[in-house]
Structure 1
Amino acid sequence: MDILLFTGNANRSLAQGIATELGVRLGDAVVSTFSDGEIRVKINESVRGRDVFVIQSTNYPQDKNLMELMIMADALKRASASTITAVIPYFGYARQDRTSEPRVPITAKLVANLIETSGFDRVMTMNLHAGQIQGFFDIPVDNLYSSPVIVKYFIENKMMGDDYVVVSPDAGGAVRARVYAKLLETSLAIVDKRRSAPNAAEAMHVVGDVKDKHVIIVDDMIDTAGTLTQAAQACLSNGAKSVCATATHGVLSGPALERITNSVLDKVIVTDTVELGQEKTNSKVEKLSVAGIFAKAISRIQNKESISSLFEMGRG
């Protein structure tokens, strides 16, 4: 396969997993910092005329990871790469996709402009927090979904059927939860939530029947885990037998891990779009890999094949 994969420092383990799935090696590049903190990039092999994929999530530290991504694009473009694709498993700043109050930026649009200007020809990402961000770019954007991996996990563990109910932690995630409910053949419920401030939410009541059911809460990301743990408590208070949760992006910032540890949640399943260090894992947090999904998409793009079949599982 005539492609080259490079990665920054955001998620080297996922990048290696994708390379292994494709049967290729990671490209030779130095991505480090000078003594004053400026980012240093050096590509140590020829990329002339090659199709290059740069794998880099833009989670914390967002600004450093974003700068690594853009500087790598500039280096590759100047080295005469044929095409350069940004593979961004977790797209940072995606929650700043509109002006929700006066005099605030649309940072997701600014980030899209920066990525495009830096020299990328295409963007591949997963479970964008706001789907309309695809329209912020004037280059192709492939928004993949983690649902095939997550649904497979639940089916293999027999967590499906009439004894289970899929719950959305807020009204905005109802479409996503409905997809999982259909695939797992469960009923559906929604937690009515009122957000009082950023990263702060108050779960009010459950719309739907969770009594005597095993609950699976489905979300796109877990940040501080405030919404998640309150939704889990609301389900248990309404008679649920047990509560577990899943999300594509395990951001787990601030008090998230402590909240999950002290919550009624039995288990939280996330994927490896964000690299989780030892300080962000415990017996309740389980990680699945989406390397195979990205590898399939990269392979099909390289072979000029359709990737629409990768969206068959819906908006999970």
Structure 2
Amino acid sequence: MKTIRIGTRDSQLAMWQAEWVKSKLEMFYPEGKFELVSMKTKGDKILDVPLSKIGDKGLFTKELEQGLLDDELDMAVHSLKDMPTVLPKGLMISTFCEREEPRDVFLSKTGVLLEELPSGAIIGTSSLRRKAQLKHYRPDLKFMDLRGNLQTRWKKLQESEMDGIVLAAAGVKRLGWEKRITQILPEDLMLSAVGQGSVAIEIVERRSDIQKLLSPLNDIATEQAVRAERALMRKLEGGCQVPIGALARVINGQIILRGMVASLDGTRLIKAEAQGLDPETVGNEVANRLIALGANDILAEIR
């Protein structure tokens, strides 16, 4: 068996995810040889500009995808929430690993809960989705743009005037930072990014050998949930940098999907929900309900 090259970004969290995939493959294939190949992406290099101002087509994936197409990599490990809903020609997601906690968490500098913060408190986040929902919940809060890896963000919280930061629970847990979490934000307050908490593995479509190799890592419930979320995003023609939230769960075989679109100032926030058996159908149904409530008008203003 030739050495299988696993592509990853070089941040600590991305390396953790790729190491996790590598360890699972080594467990299933003890005779196999697997090596990590790390790369910096455009999103890793530009840290002084909010993501919404750079454009988000493949911001954290393009270099890895080129590595796949150039046959420098056999697979690429991504955070699914970083992946565009339309992939480059010739590539596919072969594997959706079992999802970690998909919600967002609040890390407070002083241990104060989000609802207990004083008026005018400053929250660190560059996510338009998080800002819009927080502004809707508490219009009195202020915001400071926050980019960089999780270590950088935690350091900035300690050294700045920020009162707290909002991060994806999955990344915080994967780095072993559970004790730093002040609270998990409930879905009614903060709907997650599409695909949040799921590690996805991308391959070249014709590599049926790699797809077969990865099949033991695929989690069906996760795949159904995130495919529904991505169908919603695709229908709304959204990207990572628009205030769209979605979270699906599979309960007794039914996919239950909640979706949200908000204006940048948080004054308009619409939600819809649907359930069913087919991910694409459920995702499109929620998207159509959001459109009927005015989602396209809100998104057109933002664009």
Shorter-chain TM range is: 0.3 to 0.5
Structure of greater Rg: 1
- Please, what TM-score do these two structures have when normalized by structure 1? 0.35
The one of the two structures with greater contact order (alpha-carbon pairs below 8 A, sep at least 6) is 2
TM-score between the two structures when normalised by the length of structure 2: 0.36
